[in-house]
C-alpha cells in the first residue's frame, strides 16, 4: 500500500464573516462551521455572545485592538497554514464580511500560495447593517442612489492616503466610513474643504446590532463635538449624507434604537468594554 499523500491530511480553512455582532444575524452556514471547527481564530469584532458560544479550548483570539494589544497579521497567516497542515478544520472568524476591510483577501492569498484549500463564507456587513438597525437606509430612492464604503484606518505604512475625499464629496451619495472614529476630525474637515456643506447630516453608530449599541447624530460641522460629548468610541460606523437625517422620521417607532443623541428622550445606557477596532 502506498503512503498517503500529504495533501489528503491537509485541513480546510473557512474565512467566515460573523456579521455585525448580533448572533441571530449569523448565517446558517457560519453557525454550522463554528460547531464543526477544530479551531476558531477570531477577531475582536464578532459579538461577545458569538465568541462565548465557542468552547474556550477550540478558540484563539487573534484580534487587533485600536491603541492596544495586537496580534500581527503575519502570525495569523502562519497560524492558519500551520493548523491546516496539521489536518485541522479551521474557521477564521471575522466581524462583518471577510472581504470588506477584513483582510480576508490577504489571508486568501497566503492560503493559496501555501496550497491550503479554503472557502469564503460571506457575512452581513456592518456598513449596511449598523446604519440599518439605527433607522438609516444607506440608499433611498427619494434621496440618494449611490453609496461609497471607505476605511478610516488605512495601512500606516502607506506613503499617502488612497482615499480621495474630494472625489467622494462630489458624488452626491452616501459616504459610510468604517474604523473612522479616531480620524473623524480629519476627514470631516477634508470633506468640508472639498465643498460638502457644513450642514450635511452625519450619524455615528457604535457597536451596531449589539445590546450596547449607541447612536449620535449631528452635521459635518458638529459631529466631532457630538462624538466627544457622547463618548463614542470604536468600533463605530460613520454615515455622511442626507440619509443620516432619515433616522429622525423613524426613531420614535424603532425598536433597539440605541439613542445617544442629546435630543433623545431616553439614552441607551447598557455598555461593554470599548476599544475594539478591525
As beta bridge partners, residue 59 has: 40
Is the omega angle on the peptide bond into residue 235 within 30 degrees of 0, that is, cis? yes
**How many other C-beta atoms are found inside a 10 Å radius of the C-beta of residue 231?**
12
Q: Report the 10 Å Cβ neighbour count for 203.
A: 27
Catalytic site residues? Answer: 43, 64, 179
- Predicted confidence at residue 13, as pLDDT, reads 98
pLDDT at 66: 52
Cα gap 223→218, rounded to integer Å:
5
What integer pLDDT is reported at residue 157 of this predicted model?
A: 52
* pLDDT for position 15: 98
Query: Do 208 and 131 contact (CB within 8 A), yes or no?
Result: yes
> Residue with C-alpha cell 458638529?
222
Q: Which of 59, 69, 205 is nearest to 132 (CA)?
A: 205
pTM given for the model: 0.82
Count of all residues that appear for the chain in the document = 278
Question: How far apart, in whole angstroms, are the C-alpha atoms of residue 226 and residue 217?
Answer: 7
How confident is the model at residue 68, as a pLDDT?
Answer: 54
- Given a cut of 50, the residues of the chain with pLDDT beneath it are 1-7, 156, 159, 262-278
Cell of 220: 459635518
Domains along the sequence of the chain with CATH: 11-121 (3.40.1010.10), 126-253 (3.30.950.10)
pLDDT of residue 275: 33
Contact by Cβ (8 Å): 16, 33? yes
Amino acid at each position: 500500500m502506498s503512503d498517503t499523500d500529504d495533501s489528503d491530511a491537509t485541513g480546510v480553512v473557512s474565512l467566515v464573516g460573523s456579521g455585525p455582532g448580533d448572533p441571530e444575524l449569523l448565517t446558517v452556514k457560519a453557525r454550522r462551521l463554528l460547531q464543526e471547527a477544530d479551531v476558531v481564530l477570531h477577531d475582536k469584532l464578532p459579538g461577545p455572545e458569538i465568541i462565548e458560544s465557542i468552547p474556550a479550548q477550540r478558540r484563539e483570539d487573534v484580534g487587533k485592538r485600536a491603541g492596544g494589544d495586537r496580534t500581527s497579521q503575519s502570525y495569523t497567516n502562519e497560524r492558519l497554514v500551520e493548523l491546516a497542515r496539521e489536518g485541522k478544520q479551521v474557521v477564521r472568524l471575522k466581524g462583518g464580511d471577510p472581504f470588506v476591510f477584513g483582510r480576508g483577501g490577504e489571508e486568501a492569498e497566503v492560503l493559496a500560495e501555501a496550497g491550503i484549500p479554503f472557502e469564503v463564507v460571506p457575512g452581513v456587513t456592518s456598513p449596511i447593517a449598523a446604519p440599518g438597525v439605527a433607522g438609516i437606509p444607506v440608499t433611498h430612492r427619494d434621496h440618494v442612489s449611490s453609496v461609497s464604503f471607505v476605511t478610516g484606518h488605512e495601512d500606516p505604512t502607506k506613503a499617502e492616503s488612497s482615499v480621495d475625499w474630494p472625489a467622494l464629496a462630489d458624488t452626491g451619495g452616501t459616504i459610510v466610513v468604517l474604523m473612522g472614529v479616531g480620524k473623524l476630525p480629519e476627514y470631516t474637515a477634508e470633506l468640508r474643504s472639498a465643498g460638502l456643506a457644513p450642514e450635511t447630516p452625519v450619524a455615528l453608530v457604535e457597536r451596531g446590532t449589539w445590546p450596547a449599541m449607541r447612536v449620535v447624530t449631528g452635521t459635518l460641522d458638529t459631529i466631532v463635538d457630538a462624538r466627544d460629548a457622547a463618548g463614542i468610541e470604536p468600533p463605530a460606523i460613520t454615515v455622511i449624507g442626507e440619509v443620516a437625517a432619515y433616522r429622525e422620521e423613524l426613531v420614535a417607532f424603532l425598536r433597539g434604537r440605541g439613542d445617544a443623541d442629546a435630543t433623545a428622550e431616553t439614552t441607551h445606557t447598557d455598555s461593554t468594554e470599548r476599544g475594539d477596532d478591525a
